[in-house]
Amino acid sequence: MKKLARLFSALSALCLLAAAWAMLAPQRPAPVPRVPPLTAPLTGPVDHIVIHKSARRMTAFRDDRPVKTYRIALGFAPRGDKRQQGDGRTPEGRFTINRVNPDSAYHLSLGLDYPRPQDRARAAALGVDPGGDIFIHGQPNVRPDGEVLPGDWTAGCIALTDAEIRELYAAARIGTTVEILP
């Protein structure tokens, strides 16, 4: 019994010494990954855009690397995939910028290839109009430059500030892919 008590005391002392050593030993900080600032001005072209609807965030990519993140506004009823004209939803899926509009009623705009064939087929099966004219755009031209509408207010588009759409409009090209996630 005395031997067991001595063994237990010795093990306890060793544990205390190990804990003290771990606390007093110099600690090397974990390496910090180098990530480019995603709020710096966007320069150069982008080849892919990812939109996370639930986070209200859009990230522009170049060569599979994120280069800029924006806060966005969506359709007035953004949950779920767009089903029909007037539902206020922003569509989900993989799209392509297929047109640009320098004379948009919403400052500048980048048009997406919605509805795609699968969107038209789904709407036809439901007997509804799938809608169309989905854009990444700025604020309404009737507002002063710099003024931003609050909340989700579009009919299904993705809205940025006027300064942000000017930046993205200069960097995106027809053919740039856009992935819209829930």
For 127, which DSSP code? T
Q: Could you give the residue ranges of the DSSP H alpha helices within the chain?
A: 2-24, 117-126, 162-171
Give the HSE-up count for residue 108: Cα atoms under 13 Å, Cβ half-sphere: 17
Token look-up 């989900």 returns 92
Q: How confident is the model at residue 41, as a pLDDT?
A: 85
CA 64 → CA 46, 59, 60, 178, 181, distances in Å? 10, 11, 9, 13, 17
Pairing of strands 135-137, 158-159: parallel
- Residue 12's Cβ-side half-sphere holds a number of Cα atoms within 13 Å equal to 6
157 is catalytic: yes
Mean pLDDT is lowest, of 1-5, 25-29, 49-53, 121-125, for 25-29
Cis-peptide into 36, omega within 30 deg: no
Residue 14 has pLDDT above 70, yes or no: no
- Tell me the C-alpha distance between 91 and 70, whole Å: 18
What mean pLDDT do residues 72-101 have? 95
- Does 48 qualify as catalytic in the annotation? no
Mean predicted confidence (pLDDT) in 88-109: 96
pLDDT digits (tens, 9 = 90+) for 107-165: 999 999 999 999 999 999 999 999 999 999 999 999 887 889 999 999 999 999 999 99
Q: HSE-up of 140 (CA within 13 Å, CB side)? A: 7
Query: So where are the chain's domains?
Result: 73-174
What's this model's pTM, rounded to 2 decimal places?
A: 0.77
Helix (H) or strand (E) run with residue 173 in it: none
Check residue 39 and give its pLDDT: 73
Catalytic one of 48, 52, 107, 157: 157
Q: What is the pLDDT of residues 36-83, one digit of tens each?
A: 557 788 888 999 999 999 999 999 999 999 999 999 999 999 999 999
pLDDT at 26 over 90: no
Query: How confident is the model over 83-93, as a mean pLDDT?
Result: 94
Residues 14-27, mean pLDDT to the nearest whole number: 47
The pLDDT value given to residue 100: 97
